[in-house]
């Protein structure tokens, strides 16, 4: 049933995505050649820390979501992470900090701002960026001979970030960049060691730990594949930040109105489609539930019939055992088990005798194809039944009387 629901949901989502790709906003943007403003930066590189006791060079990675207001200025949100570590190179100092940081910042294309729009700045850019972030540290320190002992530490600290880099346009939707970034913290515990335990709290840019990231990566431009991204937009001049005319603004507003109308129509169609999908799923679930309920009822009925047959056979067997013609003196035996194999019967007989049942016996009368192992034998039926009640209560609820 879960598979049916999952397949139906996937089919519905596939239909939505296919229709949206044919009639969605990209088609309108492509037709009017409006520039797109969003991009995703993926980067990786190395980190070197300037801490109380230094740090080895370690790898790090990050992702930026960036919005470009114009070819010069953009804003970004960033998430990154890596590991600081030192393994005994500095006076047997050892620590490891698995960290993650997240923050916001701004970026300025210096080359475009200074030289304006030209054949170089349409393909190459140099930028500076700055931001604030929180770093989440998880520090583990080892034994050391340092003046002040290290301490395991988990918590947040503030980062001030300052960096820059160079970017190259290699495709309409893809850039390559190289950058460096200095990160200054208000905490001196990024390596687990304080410079002076008990001193006042660290001050940003003065007492805190610091580290440098150097990285390279790609910038993926979002939006229509046929429209130039804002980062490389032509005709934008640094002297006039409001270069777009009033007519272009009106055209953009009209385009967004058309886009909104198209989106509303698309949403309405999707709602109707999902309603039909939910109706179909409800019908499927009802049918499946009915089939499963019928199957369970049939199985229960077959089990009840089988139990009645077994009970009838057991009653017949008990009657045969009780009513069998007796010769000479009648004895009443309390049965512990019935076995087809003499070896298994002898094994249980030894167990009973070892458990204190000295009168235990193994019986196989003429005409029987099985062996009976008994706890004891009695000359009187009342005595046997009294002992049978005790055994059923304390030892074996399935014990019964064999009359011989």
Highest mean pLDDT among 155-169, 251-265, 311-325, 368-382: 155-169
Mean pLDDT to the nearest integer, 172-177 = 90
- Domain 325-403: top CATH class: alpha beta
Give the confidence band of 129 by pLDDT, cuts at 50, 70, 90. very high
Q: Per-residue pLDDT averaged across 383-388, rounded?
A: 91
- The encoded tokens of residue 131 equal 């931001």
Percent of the chain's residues with pLDDT above 70 = 77
Residues 233-244 have pLDDT tens digits of 775 544 444 555
Residue 362: C-alpha distances to residues 168, 336, 357, 370 (Å): 96, 10, 12, 10
Which of 17-26, 41-50, 278-287, 298-307 has the weakest average pLDDT?
17-26
**Which overall architecture, per CATH, does domain 36-232 show?**
Beta Barrel (2.40)
Strand order, beta sheet including 371-378: 361-363, 371-378, 332-339, 400-403
Yes or no: say if 325 and 364 are a contact pair by the CB < 8 Å rule.
no
Which of the four pLDDT bands, split at 50, 70 and 90, describes residue 199? low
Q: Which residues contact 100 (CB under 8 A, 6 or more apart)?
A: 79, 80, 81, 135, 136
Amino acid 161: pLDDT: 94
Return the axis-axis angle of helices 246-323 and 25-32, rounded to nearest 10°: 160
In this predicted structure, the answer to whether residue 328 has a pLDDT above a threshold of 70 is no
Section 242-257 average pLDDT: 74
Q: Is the pLDDT of residue 5 over 50?
A: no
Identity of the highest mean pLDDT range in 5-14, 33-42, 134-143, 348-357: 348-357
Contact indicator for 133, 103 with CB cutoff of 8 Å: yes
17 pLDDT band (50/70/90 cuts)?
very low
Q: Which pLDDT belongs to residue 49?
A: 80
Spell 31-41 as b/e; 16+ CB within 10 A means b: eeebbbbebeb
**Placement of tokens 């805190």 in the chain:** 208
**In the predicted model, what is the mean pLDDT of the chain?**
80
By the 8 A CB rule, do 137 and 154 touch? Answer: yes
Checking if the pLDDT of 193 tops 80, the result is: no
Q: What pLDDT score was predicted for residue 109?
A: 94
Task: Please name every residue paired with 130 in a beta bridge, in sequence order, or none if there are none.
Answer: 106, 162
pLDDT at site 145? 58
For residue 21, pLDDT beyond 50 = no
pLDDT per residue as tens digits for the range 130-173: 999 999 988 888 766 555 567 787 889 899 999 999 999 998 88
Per-residue pLDDT tens digits for 50-79: 777 667 788 999 999 999 989 899 999 999
Instruction: Give the pLDDT of residue 209.
Output: 84
332-339/400-403 β-pairing: antiparallel
Confidence of residue 358 (pLDDT cuts 50, 70, 90): confident
User: Could you tell me the CA-to-CA distances from 105 to 22, 291, 326, 379 in Å, in that order?
Assistant: 36, 59, 103, 100
CA separation for the pair 101, 23 (Å, rounded): 39
């Amino acid at each position: 049933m879960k598979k049916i629901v999952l397949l139906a949901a996937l089919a519905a989502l596939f239909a939505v995505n296919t229709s949206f790709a044919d009639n969605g906003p990209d088609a309108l943007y492509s037709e009017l050649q409006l520039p797109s403003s969003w991009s995703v930066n993926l980067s990786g590189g190395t980190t070197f820390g300037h801490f109380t006791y230094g740090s080895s060079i370690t790898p790090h990675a990050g992702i930026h979501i960036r919005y470009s207001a114009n070819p010069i200025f953009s804003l970004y949100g960033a998430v990154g992470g890596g590991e600081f570590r030192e393994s005994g190179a500095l006076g047997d100092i050892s620590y490891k900090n698995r960290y993650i940081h997240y923050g916001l910042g701004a970026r300025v294309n210096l080359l475009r701002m200074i030289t304006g729009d030209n054949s170089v700045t349409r393909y190459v850019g140099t930028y500076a960026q700055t931001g604030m972030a929180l770093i989440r540290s998880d520090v583990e320190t080892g034994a050391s001979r340092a003046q002040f002992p290290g301490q395991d530490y988990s918590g947040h600290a503030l980062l001030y970030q300052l960096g820059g880099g160079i970017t190259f346009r290699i495709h309409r939707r893809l850039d390559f960049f190289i950058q460096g970034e200095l990160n200054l913290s208000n905490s001196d515990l990024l390596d687990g060691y304080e410079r002076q335990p008990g001193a006042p709290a660290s001050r940003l840019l003065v007492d805190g730990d610091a580290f440098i990231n150097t990285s390279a990566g790609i910038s993926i431009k979002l939006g229509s594949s046929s429209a130039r991204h804002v980062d490389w937009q032509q005709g934008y001049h640094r002297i006039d930040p409001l270069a777009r005319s009033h007519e272009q603004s009106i055209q953009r507003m009209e385009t967004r109105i058309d886009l909104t109308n198209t989106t509303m129509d698309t949403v309405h169609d999707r709602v109707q489609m999902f309603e039909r999908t939910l109706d179909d799923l409800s019908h499927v679930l009802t049918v499946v539930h009915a089939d499963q309920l019928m199957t369970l009822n049939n199985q229960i009925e077959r089990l009840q019939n089988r139990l009645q047959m077994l009970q009838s056979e057991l009653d017949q067997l008990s009657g045969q055992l009780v009513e069998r013609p007796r010769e000479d003196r009648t004895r009443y035996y309390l049965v512990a088990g019935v076995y087809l194999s003499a070896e298994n019967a002898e094994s249980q007989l030894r167990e009973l005798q070892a458990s204190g049942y000295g009168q235990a016996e193994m019986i196989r009368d003429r005409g029987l194809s099985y062996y009976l192992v008994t706890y004891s034998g009695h000359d009187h039926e009342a005595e046997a039944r009294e002992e049978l009640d005790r055994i059923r209560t304390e030892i074996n609820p399935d014990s019964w009387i064999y009359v011989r």
